[in-house]
Amino acid sequence: MLANRLGSAVIASRGDLEIVIERSFDAPAALVFEAWTTPSLIRRWWGYESQPLVVCDVDLRVGGGWRYVTRDDVTGLEMGWRGKYREIEPGVRIVSTECFEDHPAGETLNTLTLAEVDGVTTLTVVVLHTTRANRDAQLASGMERGLQHGLDRFERLITPASPPPTNAEERP
C-alpha cells in the first residue's frame, strides 16, 4: 500500500564523506528504473510544487550527460544540477556524477542501486562527496530550502494580492 510507505525514506550520513538514501517501493525494479530516468516522469516527482523542473535533459548512456533545472514560481530563481553517466545497468544500477551548478567544486559521485524482492524494490542512492565540508553543506542545503519554502508560503499568506511572476521578470 502506497500510504503505508509515505515518509519512509531513510537518509543517513555515513563516515565523513557519504550520504545514503534508501526507500522501498511496491513496484518492479524495471518500472522504478523507468520512472527514475524518463524525463516526462522525472518532471512529476523531482522538483517541488512551487519549484517545478523547467529543464530535464537525460542522455542515458555511459559518458552521456544529464541536467535538471528548477524555477521558483514566486521568485523566478533557477537552480541547476548536472552530471555525467559513468555506469548504466538497466533496472539495476546507475553510477553518475552530480554537481549543483552554483557550486561546481562540490561534485559528487552517486551510485543508485535497485534490489527487487517479491515485487518490492529497494532503491539506494549513495552520494559520495570529496570532502566532509561539501557533504555537510549538502545536508545543510535541505534546511535552507525548507526554510525558504516556509518563508515563501508565509509571504503568500500575508500578501494574497501579489501578482504571479510574468515572463518579463525572467532572467535573460
Beta bridge partners of 51: 48
State how far the Cα of 82 lies from the Cα of 168, in Å rounded to an integer.
27
CB of 45 to another protein, least distance (A): 4
State how far the Cα of 103 lies from the Cα of 80, in Å rounded to an integer.
10
| 51's grid cell | 519549484
For another protein, the binding residue among 69, 86, 141, 165 (CB under 8 A) is 141
| 168's grid cell | 518579463
For another protein, the binding residue among 17, 35, 55, 120 (CB under 8 A) is 35
CB of 153 to another protein, least distance (A): 14
CB of 161 to another protein, least distance (A): 29
Stretch that binds another protein, among 53-61, 72-80, 134-142, 153-161 (CB under 8 A): 134-142
For another protein, the binding residue among 62, 77, 115, 140 (CB under 8 A) is 140
Stretch that binds another protein, among 31-39, 93-101, 104-112, 162-170 (CB under 8 A): 31-39
Per-residue exposure over 26-53, b if at least 16 CB sit within 10 Å of its own CB, e if not = ebebeebbeebbeeeebeeebbeebbbb
Asked if 92 is part of the footprint of another protein (rule: CB under 8 A), the reply reads: no
Strand order, beta sheet including 108-117: 10-14, 18-25, 120-128, 108-117, 93-100, 78-89, 65-71, 53-58
Cα separation values, 2 from 7, 26, 44, 115, Å = 10, 7, 17, 18
Asked if 27 is part of the footprint of another protein (rule: CB under 8 A), the reply reads: yes
Asked if 9 is part of the footprint of another protein (rule: CB under 8 A), the reply reads: yes
For another protein, the binding residue among 86, 136, 152, 165 (CB under 8 A) is 136
Q: What is the contact surface with another protein in residues (CB under 8 A)?
A: 2, 5-9, 11, 13, 16, 19, 21, 23, 25-27, 31-32, 34-36, 41, 44-46, 48, 123, 132, 136, 138-143, 145-147
